[in-house]
Amino acid sequence: MRLRRLATVLVLTVLATGALAACGSDGPQVSATAGAAATAAPSAGAHLDAAQFAAALKRPGTTVLDVRTPGEFAQGHLPGAVNLDIEGADFGARMAQLDPAGAYAVYCRSGNRSGVALEAMAQSGFTGAYDLAGGIGAWQQAGGEVVTG
């Protein structure tokens, strides 16, 4: 009986150690480049969590829009993102140059500015824009990659 308890404790210890090792892996948990693409386009105006956003932005033809300031963008952004500062005087003019029928994965720091951008885009006839709930902070917390430059 004592040997059985010892074996059970040993098995549970090994399982717990493996689970903890998996939680602390060095690789990203969500990726803008690796992993599968979403099978369906998100609904216009949808607020996606980091994993859903990662899958959705891999769909062919998707443009990743970072609506933070150029300074914030330079400090770190998602791979392949285009900076379109919602607070910039030229935001409306630059948005008007985009295809309203295109797919746009929009994010900011926390999700507030991307929500405002989604509203502006919807009012301008955009039908395929969605955002990252929680912004780049949620992305990084989920292990998502960020690049600089």
Query: How far, CA to CA in Å, does 9 sit from each of 2, 13, 21, 91, 145?
Result: 11, 6, 18, 60, 37
Query: Residue 119 corresponds to which amino acid?
Result: E
Q: Report d(CA 14, CA 119) in Å as an integer.
A: 50
Torsion of CA 53, 56, 58, 62, to 10 degrees: -110
Q: Which of 50, 64, 78, 108 is catalytic?
A: 108
Q: Residue 131 corresponds to which amino acid?
A: D
* 23 annotated active-site: no
Q: List active site positions.
A: 108
